[in-house]
């Protein structure tokens, strides 16, 4: 692989993907892990060193302070926040240095258009551009990647299709991807 990347969904149990990126731009999930939040910081550092991860996006909710603290020592970590909006833009990044005089903190954030990105992920999985090796978490990964459904929603602005997770299902590995 030319590089490794990490995606994570934060919670009491944090779900992580580590993926290798091929020279053709294919993403191959090589490691999955479910880490209790109490062990997260230590395990995060270990995995980044073990796989030589060069870029990371971790869901910033509900542990904003954890992400902000990790960013102080990791210039390649972006806080991810899911947004819902119309349009083709799948994501927007915000990156700025701290400016004490202006009262602004350093920010590295990516705003992810949830419905658009989940559509693209489904398409990439179907095309085989994203591949997933069977890991110890395979059954959980498979269940969580298939729990969300795309449903039609009628609003004042018209009809749109949105992704919904069932009340009895988890989507954590899906959100980590």
DSSP sequence for 31-71: EEEEEEGGGHHHHHHHHHHHHTEEEEEEE-SS-HHHHHHHH
CA distance 152 to 160: 6
Q: Does the pTM of the predicted model rise above 0.95?
A: no
- What are 50-74's pLDDT values in tens digits? 999 999 999 999 999 999 999 999 9
pLDDT of res. 172: 86
State the pLDDT at residue 100.
85
Dihedral (Cα; 98, 56, 130, 148), 10-degree rounding: -80
pLDDT tens digits, 22-39: 999 899 999 999 999 999
Quick: pLDDT tens for 120-169.
999 999 999 999 999 999 999 998 888 888 888 887 777 888 888 888 87
């Amino acid at each position: 692989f030319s590089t490794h990347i990490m995606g994570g969904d934060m919670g009491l149990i944090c779900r992580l993907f580590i993926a290798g990126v091929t020279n053709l731009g294919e993403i191959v999930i090589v490691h999955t892990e479910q880490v209790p939040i109490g062990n997260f910081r230590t395990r995060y550092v270990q995995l980044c060193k073990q796989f030589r991860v060069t870029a990371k996006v971790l869901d910033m909710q509900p542990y904003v302070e954890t992400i902000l603290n990790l960013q102080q020592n990791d210039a390649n970590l972006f806080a991810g926040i899911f947004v819902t909006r119309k349009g083709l833009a799948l994501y927007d990044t915000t990156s700025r240095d701290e400016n004490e005089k202006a009262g602004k903190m350093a920010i590295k954030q990516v705003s992810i258009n949830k419905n658009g990105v989940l559509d693209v992920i489904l398409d990439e999985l179907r095309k085989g551009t994203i591949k997933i090796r069977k890991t110890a978490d395979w059954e959980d990964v498979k269940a969580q990647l298939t729990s969300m459904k795309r449903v039609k929603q009628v609003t004042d602005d018209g009809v749109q299709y949105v992704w919904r997770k069932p009340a009895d299902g988890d989507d954590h590995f899906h959100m980590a991807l």
